[in-house]
Amino acid sequence: MERRVIQVGLLGFGTVGRGVAEIVSRHQNELEHQVGGPISIKSALVKDLQKERGEWNERIQLTADPADVIEDPEIDIIIEVMGGIEETKLLLEKALSHKKHIVTANKDLMAEYGSSLLQQAAEHGCDVYYEASVAGGIPILRTITEGLAADRITKMMGIVNGTTNYILTKMSKEKLAYTDVLKEAQRLGFAESDPTADVEGLDAARKMAILATLGFSAPVQLADVAVKGISGISGVDLEFCEQLGYTMKLIGIAQRDEGRLEVSVEPTLLPSSHPLANVQNEYNAVFVHGEAVGETMFYGPGAGSLPTATAVVSDLVSITKNVKRKVNGFAQHLPLYPATLKTEEEMQSQFFIRLHVEDRTGTFARVTSLFANHDVSFEKLIQLPLENKMLAEVVIITHLTSRAVYKQLINELETMDVIERVASSYRVEGGNA
């Protein structure tokens, strides 16, 4: 392989961008050994040229003009770590038109426009790699596209958002209220000042759309992902989960059965013995089930500047090897099949349902009769009186039923005169279906 210097341009020079520069600088000997030549970061796009950045002000050309990076004929590879969607998409499309290869950590962009960017990259003979867009330092995308390339993936299930996992861990282990833990997470930097994308499941949904697109070779869009966040979870819910032998996690699930897909992100009860139930704090983990290999699990830090930067630099190495071998443009994983989604009648699961009911004779018989009419049986059940009220709390874990039947049940329960309210309901995964 030729030993010319591979020149890199950065779009964005925040914590991840500086992490990338640090790794490239510190690991230059190892990187050069892997790719057969030196790698150099030539320039970086920044918002504020006056900001002091220490040694990097001297070693990297800083610019506020994207054209200085994108249109520089000496730059081979663009690393995008600036975030954003629409404006960033336009910049990357322009970079591809200038025959620049791209590494991005931008899950929002790839969930919305990934298929389009990959198609354009193939047309221009360029590479687009995006390992860091899902699960930070865990090499899950490379595992799917390379390590399990010979298998047929049928299910991916995991914790892909560190903020919500941190919040649920603290609520469960330390019996703290949601609002208190969220404030602590914001203070520690695990949660943004506006945490909506994390706590309402949108961040995880984008990652699951990317995983499903790659794992099933089908163009899964963000709108195809059913989403429910964690902001409505109470300490009472978590106490009942523990009492019944379960742990609550925000779980992303992508499943394929006979060519039909189901992709969701929602609070889910897992048996406390399940490996995902023991993934704590800000860590991520993903289960992948293949027809040949069976179950494999990938675990590690889901965020942070250096774990994310490590995934970015790994992609940089892959593209650099392709440049040296002159084989760029052949590694795009374009969808092979249509994204045919399951109907709600085809989606099967167990469910946790918590009710406040009138504490009088005949109430429970009416509730059980409703479930029986829908052919839904109980796996577990708890009934307790509520203090200072003529009410009882009933907690049910159903056997397997369809999501369509579950929704109908919830609607009918909410209209029954003997039920004050449906306090909460969640999916249950990994139980005795």
Query: How many CB atoms are closer than 10 A to CB 151?
Result: 16
**170, 207, 228, 380: which is the annotated catalytic residue?**
207
DSSP state letter for 190: S
User: Would you state the structure tokens that stand for residue 83, as one six-digit string?
Assistant: 């975030």
Nearest to 333 by CA among 27, 45, 122: 122
> CA 332, 336, 339, 340: dihedral to nearest 10 degrees?
-170
Q: For the chain, how many residues are written?
A: 433
Whether the Cβ atoms of residue 342 and residue 260 lie closer than 8 Å to each other: yes
CA–CA separation, 129 and 142 (whole Å): 10
Alpha carbon distance 428, 194 (integer Å) = 29
Smallest CA-to-CA distance from 165 within 195, 198, 194, 211 is with: 198
Q: Which residues pair with 322 in a beta bridge?
A: none
Element (H, E) at 408: helix 403-415
191: exposed, middle or buried (C-beta count within 10 Å: 0-12, 13-18, 19+)?
buried
94 is catalytic: no
> Would you name the residues annotated as active-site residues?
207
